[in-house]
Amino acid sequence: MVKIAPSLLSADFASLAEELKDIERGGADLVHLDIMDGHFVPNLTFGAPIIKALRPHTNLTFDAHLMVYHPENYVKPLADAGVNMVSFHVEAAPHADRIVHMIKDAGMKAGIVLNPATSLSTVDYLLEIVDYVLLMSVNPGFGGQKFISYTMDKVRSLRSMISERHLNCQIEIDGGVKAENAGKLAEAGADILVAGSAVFGKEDRKAAIAALR
């Protein structure tokens, strides 16, 4: 069954601890943490100190998505903050293999992220060592964007690449995920769906998460 990872970027920032508890009660599998540096993407969000402060308030898996340059500088602080999974953009990291091993050596699962127009060929050799690939289905940096339709074919192609090589690598999708396209994404081969407003924008988070499954 597909896993649901509500994105904290769409939560009420004045009540983050309670928001975490609400989605955990609602059946979320992970919480997606968008970390932006104001350079790789225009926005700034939060970093390791905030994440560390939130860690005692939930048992949910912390899934950190680095939208930053020099992602290697974030690995140890995130591990110390209690993060379980870390992904970084192939477009921002010329030494991606090294960073994957840094993440794993720190005791976390390692993922690689591709922007919508970035070819799957850029991560061909990394598929052997990463735990998951995060495909952006919007251009990163802002919440509430419309799903880019060609991502669906990209998911199918990536699933074929993984299956043909009998790899234990999951596919995560981030951007514009709604109840209307969640089922199609799962059928195409997605394992984890990141959803912002589709969860936090709803009054009944349990019903919203159930609709995405």
Q: Which residues belong to the annotated binding site for substrate?
A: 7, 65, 141-144, 174-176, 196-197
How many CB atoms lie under 10 A from the CB of residue 117? Answer: 11
Would you call 80 a catalytic residue per the annotation? no
Which has the closest alpha carbon to 68: 44, 49, 40? 40
* Contacts with 4 (C-beta within 8 Å, 6 or more apart), sequence order: 27, 28, 29, 30, 192, 193, 195, 199, 209, 212, 213
The whole-angstrom separation of Cα 109 and Cα 95 is 17
Residue among 132, 127, 201 nearest 164 (CA): 127
Instruction: State the catalytic residue, choosing from 29, 63, 131, 174.
Output: 174
Q: What's the distance, CA 15 to chain centroid?
A: 21
The answer to whether 124 is a known catalytic residue is no
- Kindly name the residue from 22, 34, 37, 191 that is annotated as catalytic: 34
Strand partners, 111: 87, 132
Which residue is associated with the tokens 């790899």? 167
Distance (Å, whole) CA 9 – CA 188: 26
Which residues are known binding-site members for a divalent metal cation?
32, 34, 65, 174
Give the residue numbers of the binding site: 7, 32, 34, 65, 141-144, 174-176, 196-197
Query: Which stretches does DSSP call E strand in the chain?
Result: 3-6, 30-36, 61-67, 85-89, 109-114, 132-136, 170-174, 192-195
Question: What residues are labeled active site?
Answer: 34, 174
